[in-house]
Amino acid sequence: MASKVTLSQALGTDGSDYNHRQKIATHYQVSATNKSRLKYCIFFHYLLFFVMLAKLSADILDHLDIFILEIEELQVPQFFNHPTNLFSLLFQPLWWEYIWCISLLLSFLALSAIKRNRVKTLQKYMIGIILLGYGPLGYAIVYYFKDVWTYLTVGKSEDIHLWQSLPYGVLWYAFILLASQVHCFSLYFSWNLLIAWRTRGAKRMD
């Protein structure tokens, strides 16, 4: 028994080396788990992007001088509880919608960071999500607050814009809620990755 202990000590496996390897393995597991979850968040970001793109399709096609009847009929909202053709005047896409769409490009930064464990690249992704993701959403919350508040306190009225008999502001708030959750989890998993990479000494300079 004594000879076995002496041999193990000579090989440097007295227990501390095992604990060290366990810590390293744990960090790798945390990194792999959060990478997978961040990819799911990016996937949902893409889904929301296509929802926004569908909403913007009428305006985009209009600028390209392309007319598709089905899209035009879908996009015509109801204003003052009566069908109108005032979409081009009242429901033109706002600047925040296009800026939010740009946030999808940040996914390439995240995927690049995940592939090579790049701390600085992932930090840029997180900053971009805050600016291009949460920034436009924050503006939209303020912009549609009056309509949503009126709908919640008074109900449907002539002061509320409707689309397909649904309050326009409430629909946007539903989108904002989903997008905010996706961005929140993206930042959370990104932060976990930063901690894991730094802890195991995998920080790489871009």
Cα 6 to Cα 18: distance, rounded to the nearest angstrom: 17
Per-residue pLDDT of the chain (206 residues; tens, 9 = 90+): 444 445 444 445 555 554 555 555 566 788 899 999 999 999 999 999 999 998 888 776 765 655 554 445 555 443 334 444 444 444 578 899 999 999 999 999 999 999 999 999 999 999 999 999 999 999 999 999 988 888 888 877 666 777 777 788 889 999 999 999 999 999 999 999 999 888 766 444 44
- Domain definitions of the chain by residue range: 31-74+93-203
Please provide residue 37's backbone torsions phi and psi, each rounded to the nearest 5 degrees: -70, -35
Q: For the whole model, what pTM was predicted? A: 0.75
Helix (DSSP H) and strand (DSSP E) numbers for the chain? 9, 4
Sheet holding 78-79, edge to edge: 82-83, 78-79, 162-163, 166-167
